Amino acid sequence: MVIEWTTIMDFVLTFVAGLLFGLAIKKGVVAFVLAIVGFVIAGYVGLTFVPKISLSYEISKFIALALAYFKDAQIGTLAVSLTVILFLIGLVIGLWKG
């Protein structure tokens, strides 16, 4: 069985795309957490540029939006192929090693 080089390149590029997405997601989560920590420290010190927000209100609003989205989401059938598996492997490695 002969596999063309374009097929192999498709598999490699799919893996690399998953890896880059995983790295970007991990860096974004780290940046978000550090921003929250910075706001908490700035509020503790007494800096006035930190907005006065109710954390419980924001969390309840986020949960309501997430539930409304997932209630209407139609997942359907997930076709598992080699490209999906390679993308997910790249995503997991990017999240783990990023």
pLDDT at 50: 52
Is residue 96 in a domain? yes
Is residue 97 in a domain? yes
Of 69 and 9, which is predicted with more confidence? Answer: 9
Sorting pLDDT into bands at 50, 70 and 90, what band is 31?
Answer: very high
Domains of the chain: total: 1
Is residue 42 in a domain? yes
Of 44 and 13, which is predicted with more confidence? Answer: 13
Please give the average per-residue pLDDT across 44-58, as a whole number: 71
pTM beyond 0.75, yes or no: no
Is residue 4 in a domain? no
Query: Above 60 in pLDDT, residue 79?
Result: no
Instruction: Please choose, from the candidates 23, 20, 31, 34, the residue with its C-alpha nearest in 3D space to the C-alpha of residue 97.
Output: 23
Using CA atoms, how far apart are residues 36 and 84, in angstroms rounded to an integer?
Answer: 34
Instruction: Please choose, from the candidates 39, 38, 62, the residue with its C-alpha nearest in 3D space to the C-alpha of residue 51.
Output: 39
Range of the domain at 48: 11-58+84-98
